[in-house]
């Protein structure tokens, strides 16, 4: 098995940095069909540029490289323990090289292992088969979309959809509800993998397994094929749009499977996957571990460039912000404005927010811009360099954000997916704005970083530390302003009304 280590490292690297052709194809269609010059089309343009940048530089498409989940099939007689060890070593090596972000955190102590290894990480599923070769499939599904997974126990009452019975109609309602509830927080446009039936735990596993299908396949069960097509059409009438900005592309894939269930249970498990749908696979020679074939790829088809023209185009109408910001500057902004930030930002996510609630800030945050971001950073000599730096889901900080804005004088928060009523009230009261960056555009934003100026709270690990960076032309959209307006609340309301029209009597 002299080639096994190299093959696995290549699989991880390619999965993290080079989107498969079926995902590229649907994202291309999404960008083509979106109404030009809308916020959603701007978001899609940045996403397309980001896909190109990741592939060109072999950098992570998104900074959240997720929970590495491997599904391995081996011929009878192959030593699975050896493959398990090789996968773990490849994961640690890919992390060291900055292809994966260190994402494995001890759930009791909060300590990050630093190499993506730990209890039950990476996730490994082994099966034997009659084939002569080894097959290894990998999916990297990030936390933002993982948090939007949802499970329904039918019958149940759904917001805007009424009662969902134990019928295919009840399944249809549940899946549409799942797409709606994700809004932009799972980095729409998304893909849903669905399992009808099974038990709670295995149902989620089977839902995720659906994400290993190709987006252009047709379900062999005609009833499910029909349902998949129906969901695709109806979900794209909702108007959630890219990043939840409102628009045509809400869902780019729907894959449904069914499993037997207990008479008493009827679960619908939905695995919500973001646009950064990173899954690939390889077939390996069982004797040498060499790659014999890539899955999800067509070797005869070169990797196509995604961005049209120059990608995201500046119009000259953007508002340039240079922190520290003043009350007057942020109150002049309104929902829909595109801003370009030139200057210093501080990153801060879950650990930083809980820390700031109880402890003094390690830096002066008056007028500052706080970026919800857990970057991929590599130390080269004594200098840090940014390998990926897109926004994380802001809603997790909702319990803390308002107080932190008031207490420290933060003037702008950058993240994705929007925030809730408590934060909106604080923005108005204290004079601050919420800026939505484009989720998953980790390479695009990494290129805006001119310099890493320092780091605080490193005890929380690389993604959770407070990084001090200087950026140039960092583009984001004002989606919550200091006048009580929230694009997220508006889109949720309007799309909820559309959802109601999709009820069938
Ligand atoms: S694209 Fe969004 S949801 Fe997907 S992994 Fe990245 S940040 Fe998370």
**Any idea what DSSP says for residue 121?**
B
Q: How confident is the model at residue 90, as a pLDDT?
A: 98
Torsion of CA 284, 64, 125, 203, to 10 degrees: -130
- For residue 63, the ligand 1 atom closest to its alpha carbon is 6
Distance 325 CA to ligand 1 centre (A): 28
* Lookup result for tokens 């934060």: 423
> Is it the case that residue 404 has pLDDT exceeding 80?
yes
Q: How far apart are CA 70 and CA 123, in angstroms?
A: 6
Cβ(314)–Cβ(26) below 8 Å = no
Measured by CA distance, the residue closest to atom 4 of ligand 1 is: 274
Q: Parallel, antiparallel, or unpaired for β 278-284 and 319-321? A: unpaired
Q: Is the pLDDT of residue 440 over 80?
A: yes
Rg (CA), the chain: 22
Pocket test for ligand 1, best of 16, 415, 439 (most atoms within 8 A of CB): 439
Answer yes or no: are the C-beta atoms of 204 and 67 closer than 8 Å.
Answer: no
DSSP state of 416: B
pLDDT tens digits for 95-148?
A: 999 999 999 999 999 999 999 999 999 999 999 999 999 999 999 999 999 999
The ligand 1 atom at the shortest distance from the C-alpha of residue 390 is 7
- pLDDT number for residue 304: 84
439 CA distance to ligand 1 middle (Å): 6
Describe the strand order of the beta sheet including 278-284 as a list of residue ranges: 123-129, 67-75, 134-141, 278-284, 291-295
Q: Ligand 1: which atom is nearest the Cα of residue 440?
A: 1
∠ CA 61-176-487, rounded to 5°: 65
Atom of ligand 1 nearest to the CA of 274: 4
> Which among 216, 201, 414, 381 has a CA at the least distance from the CA of 296?
216
How many angstroms separate the alpha carbon of residue 168 from the centre of ligand 1? 30
Q: Which two tokens stand for residue 359?
A: 């402890």
Burial of 36: CB neighbours in 10 Å, binned 0-12, 13-18, 19+? exposed
Helices within 270-363 (DSSP H only): 327-331, 350-358
- Whether 210 and 255 have beta carbons less than 8 Å apart is answered as yes
Examine the pLDDT at 194 and tell me if it is beyond 70.
yes
pLDDT class of 494 with cuts at 50, 70, 90: very high
**Distance from Cα 440 to the centre of ligand 1, integer Å:** 5
Determine which residue's CA is closest to atom 1 belonging to ligand 1: 440
Q: What is the pLDDT of residues 319-344, one digit of tens each?
A: 999 999 999 999 999 999 999 999 99
CA of 17 to the centre of ligand 1 (A): 13
Quick check: 7 pLDDT over 80? yes
- 186, exposed or middle or buried, with CB in 10 Å at 0-12, 13-18, 19+? buried
Q: What is the pLDDT of residue 114?
A: 96
Q: How far from chain centre, in Å, is Cα 447?
A: 19
Mutation to probe ligand 1, out of 23, 141, 187 (largest number of atoms < 8 A from CB): 187
Q: What percent of the chain has pLDDT over 90?
A: 95
Distances (CA, A) of 179 to 185, 330, 394: 11, 33, 19
How far apart are the C-alpha atoms of 230 and 225, rounded to whole Å? 9
Closest ligand 1 atom to Cα of 439 = 2
b/e for 395-419, b at 16 or more Cβ within 10 A?
Answer: bbbbebbbebbebbbbbbbbbbbbb
Calculate how far, in angstroms, residue 389's C-alpha sits from the geometric centre of ligand 1.
11
Nearest-angstrom CA–CA distance, 305 and 303: 7
Contact of 8 with 87, CB cutoff 8 Å: yes
Confidence at residue 171, expressed as pLDDT on a 0 to 100 scale: 98
pLDDT digits (tens, 9 = 90+) for 31-75: 999 999 899 999 999 999 999 999 999 999 999 999 999 999 999
Which of 284, 306, 286, 282 is closest to 296 using CA atoms? 282
* Top mutation candidate among 67, 274, 375 for ligand 1, by most atoms within 8 Å of CB: 274
Q: Which alpha helices (H) appear in 418-461, and where do they start and end? A: 421-430, 442-446
Q: What are the pLDDT digits (tens) for 206-219?
A: 999 999 999 999 99
Q: How far is residue 122's CA from residue 69's CA, in Å, rounded to a whole number?
A: 6
pLDDT per position as a tens digit, 448-493: 999 999 999 999 999 999 999 999 999 999 999 999 999 999 999 9
pLDDT digits (tens, 9 = 90+) for 411-439: 999 999 999 999 999 999 999 999 999 99
Structure tokens given for 259: 């499993």
DSSP letters of 19-33?
--HHHHHHHHHHHHH
Contact, 48 vs 308, CB < 8 A? yes
* Closest ligand 1 atom to 276 CA: 1
* Distance (Å) from CA 416 to ligand 1 centroid: 9
Nearest residue to 90 via CA among 9, 159, 165: 9
How close is the Cα of 393 to the center of ligand 1, in Å?
8
Give nearest CA residue, ligand 1 atom 7. 440
Q: How many CA atoms does the CB half-sphere of 109 hold within 13 Å?
A: 9
Taking the centre of ligand 1 as the mean of its atom positions, its distance from the CA of residue 146, in whole angstroms, is 9
pLDDT digits (tens, 9 = 90+) for 284-295: 999 999 999 999
Secondary structure letter of residue 61 according to DSSP? S
Strands 123-129 and 190-197: unpaired
Instruction: State the closest ligand 1 atom to the C-alpha of 442, by its place in the atom list counted from 1.
Output: 6
Question: Which protein residues touch ligand 1 with a CB less than 6 Å away?
Answer: 62, 64, 66, 142-145, 186-187, 274, 276, 390, 392, 439-440
DSSP per-residue codes, 382-394: TEEEEEE----BG
Specify burial of residue 503 (Cβ count, 10 A radius: 0-12, 13-18, 19+).
Answer: middle
What's the gap in Å between 80 CA and the centre of ligand 1? Answer: 31
For 365-399, how does the pLDDT look when each residue is reduced to its tens digit (9 = 90+)? 999 999 999 999 999 899 999 999 999 999 999 99
Dihedral sign computed on CA atoms, order 217, 223, 226, 231:
negative
Structure tokens that stand for 113 in this block: 């292992």
Mean pLDDT of the chain: 96
Judged against a pLDDT cut of 70, whether residue 4 lies above it is answered with yes
| pLDDT per residue as tens digits for the range 272-312 | 999 999 999 999 999 999 999 999 998 877 888 898 766 66
With CA atoms as reference, report the closest residue to 145 among 97, 47, 211, 239. 211
Residue-level pLDDT at 313: 76
**Ligand 1 centre distance from Cα of residue 143 (Å):** 7
CA–CA separation, 130 and 228 (whole Å): 31
């Amino acid at each position: 098995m002299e080639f096994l280590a190299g093959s696995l490292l290549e699989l991880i690297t390619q999965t993290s940095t080079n989107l498969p052709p079926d995902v590229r194809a649907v994202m291309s269609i999404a960008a083509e069909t979106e109404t030009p010059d809308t916020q959603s089309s701007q978001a899609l343009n940045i996403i397309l540029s980001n896909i190109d940048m990741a592939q060109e530089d072999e950098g992570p498409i998104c900074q959240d490289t997720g929970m590495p989940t491997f599904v391995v099939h081996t011929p009878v007689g192959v030593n699975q323990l050896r493959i398990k060890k090789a996968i773990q070593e490849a994961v640690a090596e890919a992390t060291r090289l900055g292809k994966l972000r260190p994402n494995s955190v001890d759930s009791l102590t909060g300590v990050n292992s630093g190499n993506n290894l730990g209890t039950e990480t990476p996730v490994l599923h082994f099966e034997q088969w009659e084939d002569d070769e080894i097959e290894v499939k990998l999916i990297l599904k990030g936390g933002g979309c993982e948090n939007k997974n949802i499970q329904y126990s039918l019958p149940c009452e759904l917001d805007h959809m009424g009662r969902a019975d134990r019928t295919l109609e009840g399944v249809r309602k549940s899946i549409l509800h799942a797409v709606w509830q994700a809004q932009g927080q799972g980095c729409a446009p998304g893909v849903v993998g669905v399992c009808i039936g099974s038990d709670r735990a295995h149902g989620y596993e089977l839902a995720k397994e659906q994400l290993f299908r190709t987006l252009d396949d047709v379900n062999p069960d005609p009833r499910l094929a029909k349902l998949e097509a129906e969901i695709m059409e109806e979900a794209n009438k909702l108007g959630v749009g890219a990043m939840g900005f409102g628009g045509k592309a809400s869902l780019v894939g729907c894959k449904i499977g069914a499993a037997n269930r207990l008479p008493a249970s009827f679960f619908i498990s939905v695995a919500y996957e973001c646009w950064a749908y990173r899954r690939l696979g390889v077939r390996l020679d069982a004797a040498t571990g060499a790659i014999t074939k890539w899955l999800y790829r067509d070797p005869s088809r070169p990797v196509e460039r995604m961005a049209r023209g120059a990608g995201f185009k500046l119009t000259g109408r953007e508002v340039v912000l240079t922190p520290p910001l003043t009350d007057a500057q942020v109150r002049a902004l309104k929902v829909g404005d595109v801003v370009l930030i030139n200057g210093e930002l501080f990153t801060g996510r879950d650990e930083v927010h809980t820390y700031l609630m109880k402890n003094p800030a390690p830096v002066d945050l008056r007028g500052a811009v706080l970026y919800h971001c857990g970057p991929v950073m590599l130390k080269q000599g004594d200098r840090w360099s940014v390998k990926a730096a897109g926004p994380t889901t802001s809603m997790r900080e909702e319990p803390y954000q308002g107080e932190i804005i008031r207490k420290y004088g933060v003037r702008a928060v950058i993240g994705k997916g929007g925030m809730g009523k408590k934060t909106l009230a604080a923005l108005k009261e204290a004079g601050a704005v919420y800026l939505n960056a484009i989720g998953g555009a980790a390479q695009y934003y990494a290129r805006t970083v001119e310099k890493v100026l320092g780091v605080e709270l490193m005890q929380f690990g690389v993604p959770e530390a407070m990084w001090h960076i200087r950026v140039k032309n960092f583009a984001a959209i004002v989606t919550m302003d200091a006048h009580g307006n929230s694009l997220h609340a508006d889109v949720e309301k309007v799309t909820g009304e559309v959802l109601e029209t999709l009820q069938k009597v």
